[in-house]
Structure 1
Amino acid sequence: MQRFHLFLILLSVIASSVMAQDADQVLSVWPKSPPQWTPPTESERDTSGADGRPVAGKPVIRLGFVSTPQVHVYRPAENDTSTAVVICPGGGFSILAWDLEGTEIAQWFQSIGVTAIVLKYRVPTREADPRWKAPVQDVQRAISMIRAGTIEGVRPSRVGVLGFSAGGNTAAHAALASERHYDAVDSVDGASCTPDFAVLVYPAWLVQEDDSSQLIDTLAVDENSPPMFLAHAADDRIDAASSVTMFTTLKQHGVASSLHVFATGGHGFGGRIAGAPTDAWRGLCESWMKSKGWLAP
């Protein structure tokens, strides 16, 4: 059994080296094993087959069976704005849309002076209860790593979190958490794990099934909640109420946020240009961040 476990780790390392080709640095999130969960028995790999749905005419890396969480660091080449963002790709808590909602978004942030940290969080957790807990633990640890200065050359003044779909659910839980969802493991966890802002793009499952005007019980907004930017398509199979209700609740508590619901665009568009209204979300997000003073005007 021990040999099998070592074999899985080796395959994970090989897969990680392929996925990290453009990253400046790759670090493990946890010094040893992550908090208790039920890890996959299969090795980490791209699960996309020949019939995998492309987005904007390009294939998507659907990274599955992630048991070794990592941060993939993308530093801006110039004009560092002292802003960092932890990026949580989506994938229904089953896989990670690694390039579409991860590395491609990181490269865009690089271009506008933001340090991007793509989080390879644990999946699958779809059968766990709650399914967001292990991913949120990974987010919280990643934010503490950034704030504790454990990532070489990364000393931001502010740290945000961005998530797509299930990653948006994860980002929302991390942004609104009232506590750390794991016991501290070392001095790194002495640093805050609460983000300064959140960007939620077509976030999934934020509202109650029987009342979409109310957030789920595990999401509690108050006047100290971080500001959020939300983007969603009206024709998304994941109800746009997740974004609308989050925005409305933030507004009720005086948290200045920004909401954009586009007529069309569907689900899972990432940051790719597809000739749809949703192509505009990145520019709108950049303008919002500039209005907050987090980017150069």
Structure 2
Amino acid sequence: MKKILFLPLLFITMMLSAQDSVELPLWPDGAPNTNGLTGEQEELEGGRVANVACPTLTVYRPAKPNGMAVIMCPGGGYALLAMGHEGHDMAAWFTTQGITYAVLKYRMPNGHNEVPLSDAEQAIRLMRKYAKEWNVNPRRIGIMGASAGGHLAASLATLCGSDATRPDFQILFYPVISMQKGVTHGGSRKNLIGETPSAELEQKYSLERQVSSRTPQAFLMLSADDTTVPPVNSINYFLALRGQNVPATLHVYPTGGHGWGFRDSFTYKRQWTGELEKWLREGLSFPEQ
């Protein structure tokens, strides 16, 4: 009987902890660039959105913040955003651990490859701007992403223009990493850099080639049977990180395919949540403040 009563109470506690949220416009005075999209945002099935013209950052604040923050970039092939299971649905899980959690609704490239990364950089600027107000340590802010959102997160981790926009760690769900044909996800490649990109552009966004000793520590997870984004994306990125002596951990689950996010239907949800929770608690190292 006690166990039956405990589970609903735990669920209610998790939901309440994620209700303290605020949505901020990413560029209140106008973005420095454009993707050419105008009009109303499109609301699609399954919590997905498209035609994002006004990017935002939704921040969920925990009742007892531990100083850490995570910014999530949902996936969607650089064409749309899976804002539910790869975004807002994870809020309670993070905030119950004391982690400030934010979901980035970023703009699609639509022929302008620099636009998503500029939104990710602005998101981390905002998080650091309000760090004191939100009880966040500005040196403990991580970027997270799934699928194409994982590519955006890894882009910020490897291509960030300055220390001001460099994340302190990265968490990647079954990420697109490379733009090389035969390795990449075709839709993400086409939407980000076009049908016939220059060799320089392809090289720039093949992130396994952009890793340096300054790239932040990483946690990667994927399924071995992912036929949408080949596992070699994560494997090569992991090897590149280790080659630069960047702390990294890689979890490959036997089955599950692609796009599971926070869905209960993923067989190994208990495993990945447990392993990520432990990594966030014990596996990260930060420089002395």
Bin the TM-score by the shorter chain: 0.7 to 0.9
TM-score (norm 1): 0.76
Alignment match, 1:26: 23
8 Å contact kept, 1:23–1:72: no
Partner SS, residue 143 of structure 1? helix
The code of the aligned residue for 1:252 comes to G
- Tell me how far 1:222 sits from its aligned partner: 1.3
Question: Larger helix proportion, structure 1 or 2?
Answer: 2
Match of 1:276 among 267, 274, 289: 267
- Residue by residue over 1:14-64, the C-alpha shift from the partner in whole angstroms, topping out at 9 and shown as x without a partner, is xxxxxxx9451111111322122233244113122xxxxxxxxxxx20111
Match of 1:160 among 111, 119, 142: 142
The correspondence for 1:65, drawn from 28, 51, 55, is 51
SS in structure 1 opposite 2:235? helix
What's the offset of the Cα at 1:68? 0.7
- Tell me, which stretches of 5 or more residues in structure 2 are unaligned? 1-17, 185-201
How far is the alpha carbon of 1:211 from its aligned partner? 6.5
Q: What residue in structure 2 maps to residue 204 of structure 1?
A: 176
Match for residue 261 of structure 1?
Answer: 252
- Contact 1:83/1:294 (<8 A) preserved: no
Q: CA deviation at 1:115?
A: 0.1
State the 1:203 CA deviation: 0.6
Check if 1:244 corresponds to 2:235.
Answer: yes
1:137 to 85, 96, 118: 118
Q: Aligned partners of 1:99 and 1:129: how far apart in 2?
A: 25
Shift of 1:287: 1.1
Cα distance change, pair 153–260 in 1 and its aligned pair in 2 (3 A): same
| 1:75 matches 2:61 | yes
Q: Report if the CA contact (8 A) 2:69-2:140 is conserved.
A: yes
Counterpart of 1:170?
A: 152
What is the RMSD computed on CA atoms of the aligned residues? Answer: 2.3
What's the counterpart of residue 16 of structure 1? none
Q: Residue 279 and residue 40 in structure 1: after superposition, are their counterparts in 2 closer, same or farther (change >3 A)?
A: farther
**8 Å CA contact 2:75, 2:148 repeated in 1:** yes
- Shift of the 217–200 alpha-carbon distance from structure 1 to 2, 3 Å rule, reads same
Give structure 1 regions of 4+ aligned residues with deviation exceeding 4 angstroms. Answer: none
CA distance in 2 between counterparts of 1:107 and 1:200 reads 19
Aligned residues: 246
Partner of residue 90 from structure 2, selected from 98, 102, 105: 105
TM-score by length of 2: 0.78
- C-alpha change, 1:205 and 1:155, in structure 2 (3 Å) is closer
Change (3 A) 1:32 1:151: farther
Alignment-derived partner of residue 70 in structure 2: 85
8 Å CA contact 1:47, 1:64 repeated in 2: yes
Label 1:171 to 1:241 Cα distance change in 2 as closer, same or farther (>3 A): same
Greater mean alpha carbon deviation, residues 222-231 or residues 37-46: 37-46
2:27 partner amino acid: W
Q: Secondary structure at the match of 1:208?
A: coil
Determine the structure 1 residue equivalent to 2:165.
193
Q: Shift of the alpha carbon at 1:107?
A: 2.0
User: How far did residue 263 of structure 1 move?
Assistant: 1.0
Partner of 2:213: 223
What secondary structure does 2:52 align onto?
A: coil
Structure 1: gaps spanning 5 or more residues: 1-20, 49-59, 181-190
